[in-house]
Amino acid sequence: MSEMQTHAGTEVPQQHEAEPTFFGLNPGGWVALAMLVVFAILIWKKVPGAIGKALDANIALIRDQLSEAESLRREAEVLKAEYEAKSASADKDREALLERARHEADEIVAKAKTDAEALVERRTRMAEDKIAAEERSAVEQLRAAAADAAAKAAARLIAERHDAKTDAQLVDRAIKEIAGR
């Protein structure tokens, strides 16, 4: 069915319609011509150069921003390393402080223990001294009471068994013994 078309079994020859033209150009030609004119104006006004300059300026701005970001990243890495070092130093300092505190606590506990033992020993010694003093006082009181009771008993016995004549004999004998020495 090349140039003819069948319509209900009959062949009808197809006709070509002529496209309108203006100065010998069809509509597609006019569009192409308009595009060439637009491109010519763009080139004449140096639009591609301006676009290139704008793009170059944007590229330079982006490069500056990238270099600034890179320097900021380097600074951040330096700060991070510095803070990591400080953190490690702080951890070491913390461990040293904890160790020193433990050591001091152990010393305080040991000193408190020796002080408590010394206090207990002093108090024990004081209690023992007090008990010994009380014992001595009790023994002295007992001896005094015994001596007093013995003296009273002796005086009573002497008074009961001796009369004035016996007393005179005892005194004479005592004087002879003292003189004989």
The single-letter DSSP state of residue 3 is S
**Confidence tier at 7 by pLDDT (50, 70, 90):** low
Q: What is the pLDDT of residue 15?
A: 67
Alpha carbons 106 and 100: distance in angstroms, whole number: 10
Compare 26 and 16 and report the one with higher pLDDT. 26
Bridge partners of residue 12, in order along the sequence: 5
- pLDDT exceeds 50 at position 2: no
Q: Hey, CA dihedral for 90, 95, 101, 103, is it positive or negative?
A: negative
- pLDDT exceeds 70 at position 77: yes
Alpha carbons 62 and 66: distance in angstroms, whole number: 6
Q: Are 120 and 113 in contact (CB under 8 A)?
A: no
Residue 172 to residues 153, 159, 167, Cα–Cα distance (Å): 23, 18, 9
Q: Are 34 and 45 in contact (CB under 8 A)?
A: no
Domain ranges within the chain, ordered by starting residue: 20-175
Query: What DSSP assignment string belongs to 123-171?
Result: HHHHHHHHHHHHHHHHHHHHHHHHHHHHHHHHHHHHHHH--HHHHHHHH
Condensed to tens digits (0 to 9), the pLDDT of residues 108-162 reads 999 999 999 999 999 999 999 999 998 889 888 888 888 888 778 777 777 777 6
Q: What is the pLDDT of residue 100?
A: 93
Q: What is the pLDDT of residue 1?
A: 46
pTM: 0.36
Compare 17 and 151 and report the one with higher pLDDT. 151
